[in-house]
Structure formats: structure tokens, C-alpha cells
Amino acid sequence: MECRVLSIQSHVVRGYVGNKSASFPLQVLGFEVDSINSVQFSNHTGYSHWKGQVLTADELHVLYEGIKLNNVHQYDYVLTGYTRDTSFLEMVVDIVQELKRANPNLVYVCDPVLGDHGSMYVPQNLYPVYKNKVVPVADIITPNQFEAELLTGKNISSQKDAVEVMDLLHAMGPDTVVITSSDLPPRLGDRFLVSLGSQRHVRPDGTRTTQRVRIEVPKVDAVFVGTGDLFAAMLLAWTHHYPNDLKTACEKTFSVMHHVIQRTISYAHELAGPGRRPSPPQLELRMVQSKADIEDPAIVTEATIIS
């Protein structure tokens, strides 16, 4: 049975960000994807110049109403990422709630894009909307450490802290939480990054159980745009295929990320030439070239179960 995803994300003409980072890999894995572009830019904002338009909350409502009028608004998943506007975000919440009333099994996957490394890169007034409205209706969230700390009001300085933060996020609504990156010390050395995940399940007898995992992924000395969108899309796909096995879903997701990033950085260095730092156009994700890795990733990062 086919799965249908409504993806409400940014769009760029050139490169892979937002809907372009999410749609192709999801389609490769057999998902039908309907895309609404929250912004439409010539390219991502890491370039020297960009032009484009931003979709308003009213325009989002009009597009959704058109889908409804034709009775083609039956979705299994909703996927959202970066936005800068509170009214737009609130309209997304309204849409998710309406879709969940029609299909109580719908899964909402949210990347709560607020900031990183101690500072916000969206307007401050988005924070309470994410905390009080978005996270409570989400089923899967993919914050980084800064975003997880911001949403819970608790700092992470140890693995125990991270587990407590993920439990606090569970209590807010989502059954699956993956902290995509953290400042925790990696056991494999400084060239790795620590990520953690937690998934709640309800047993047949009604009791709850939680699976928690830790995964260490190799660092890459470059700035990529669109990786967060790809990550959320791949976590959607692999948790769909492994709904009660977060360990395997994370291993598949992080391995896809590794293959795409390695292929991208190798190509970028080849284009830039010896001793030169690759430019933003050279660092656009090599998505199409990674099709085989997206479909069946060789596992290069192994997750460990933690308590």
C-alpha cells in the first residue's frame, strides 16, 4: 500500500534544500510526495545573492483548500522544516490537526528549526509557537542539541542529561525524538559527533517501553545546506520501514547521510582543486548520484542501545 507525504518546506531552483532534499529520496524509497513550497528562492541563502518569494499563511491556506476541494487530502505523513513566520507555522499546525482528525494514524515529522551553537537564526517569536503548538502535535522531531535545550529549558552536559531532555520532549507529545548533533564527548575521538535517539512504544497490554540509542558519526570539515531536510525525510522513511526499531532506522538514516555527504565533499574538492576551499555551488548535495545509497545504504555507523 502506497504512502502519501505532504511536505511543507522551502524550495530552491538551484541545488538541494527543503522540498528538493526531501522529495527525491522519499520518492526513490516509494513514497508519493505532495510538496508545498514555504519559500521559493533562486538558491539557498549561503550564496552571495538570492532572489525569490515567501509563501504567506493565507496563501498556504488557499493551496490546502484546493487540495481539500478535490478530496485528495488523504495523507499518511506530514513533513515540515524551516520557516520564519509565526502565522505560517500556526497554519501548519491547523492543517496537521485537521489531517489527524481525518486519519488518526497520520505521523507528523517536524524538524524544529530554531538555531544552533547557542544562537537562534529564526525570529524569537517562533520559539513559543514551536514549544506550545508545534511539538505537542508532532510524532517525530529532529532537534539539534541547542533546539532540544531551548524547547525543554534544560542543558545537556552528559548522556544522562540528554536522556532526561528526550524524556521531557516525549512528555510534550512526540513518541520519537532524535537529537541530531550534540557537544557530548565522542568515545571514538574528536573526529566524531554524538547523536542520540529515543522512541516510546505502547505494548499490547497498554504499558509503555522506551528504546534509546546513541550513535557516533564522522565529522566533515565543510558547511552543507539541506542536510537537515534530508535527515528528517530519511528518518521518516526508515521509521516507516522499521516502526519499532529505532536502532536500525537510525543506522540506515545516518548511513544515507554519510554516503551523500562523502560523495558531495569528494566532488566539491575535485572541482575546487588542491588547497582550495569549495564554494557553496560546489557543495550542493550530490543527491541524484547517491540514488543507490538512498535505496539501500551500506551501514557505516552502528547505534548502541543505552539506558
- Domains in the chain, start-ordered, CATH in brackets? 4-306 (3.40.1190.20)
Q: How many CA atoms does the CB half-sphere of 16 hold within 13 Å?
A: 25
- List, for residues 169-222, the tens digit of each pLDDT value: 999 999 999 999 999 999 999 999 999 999 999 888 888 899 999 999 999 888
Range 281-296 average pLDDT: 97
Give the pLDDT of residue 208.
Answer: 87
Cell numbers at 183, concatenated: 557537544
Nearest to 197 by CA among 167, 228, 229: 167
Cell numbers at 20, concatenated: 528538493
- List, for residues 121-162, the tens digit of each pLDDT value: 899 999 999 999 999 999 999 999 999 999 999 999 999 999
Q: Which amino acid is at 255?
A: S
- List, for residues 27-67, the tens digit of each pLDDT value: 999 999 999 999 999 999 999 999 999 999 999 999 999 99
Positions annotated as catalytic residues are: 229
- List, for residues 16-26, the tens digit of each pLDDT value: 999 999 999 99
Q: How many CA atoms does the CB half-sphere of 10 hold within 13 Å?
A: 27
Nearest to 110 by CA among 74, 143, 88: 143
Residue 198, CA distances (Å) to 10, 80, 234, 241, 307 in order: 27, 20, 16, 17, 10
What DSSP string runs through 251-280?
Answer: HHHHHHHHHHHHHHHHHHHHHH-TT-PPPT
- Contact in structure between 49 and 14 (CB atoms under 8 Å): no
What are 178's strand-pairing partners?
197
- List, for residues 252-286, the tens digit of each pLDDT value: 999 999 999 999 999 999 999 999 999 999 999 99
Q: Give the number of other Cβ atoms within 10 Å of residue 4's Cβ.
A: 15
Instruction: Give the separation between CA 111 and CA 119, rounded to whole angstroms.
Output: 17
- List, for residues 74-116, the tens digit of each pLDDT value: 999 999 999 989 999 999 999 999 999 999 999 999 999 999 9
Give the pLDDT of residue 223.
Answer: 86
pTM higher than the cut 0.85? yes
- Contact in structure between 208 and 222 (CB atoms under 8 Å): no
